[in-house]
Amino acid sequence: MTIILKNKVSLIFDDFCFKCCIGKNGLCNKKIEGDKKTPTGQFSLGNLYYRQDRLEKPITRLKSIPINKKMGWCDDKRDDKNYNKLIKIKKKIKHEKLFRKDYKYDLMIPINYNTKKIKLGKGSAIFLHLTKKYKPTNGCVALNKKDFMILLKLINKKTQIKLA
pLDDT tens for each residue of 39-88: 999 999 999 999 999 999 999 999 999 999 999 999 999 999 999 999 99
- Cα 107 to Cα 26: distance, rounded to the nearest angstrom: 23
Strand arrangement of the beta sheet that strand 95-97 belongs to: 86-88, 71-74, 95-97
pLDDT at 11: 98
Q: In which band, very low, low, confident or very high, does the pLDDT at 100 lie, cut at 50, 70 and 90?
A: very high
pLDDT tens for each residue of 147-161: 999 999 999 999 999
Query: Domains in the chain and their CATH numbers?
Result: 2-163 (2.40.440.10)
Determine contact, residues 3/151, Cβ cutoff 8 Å: yes
pLDDT tens for each residue of 107-147: 999 999 999 999 999 999 999 999 999 999 999 999 999 99
Is residue 90 predicted with pLDDT exceeding 90? no
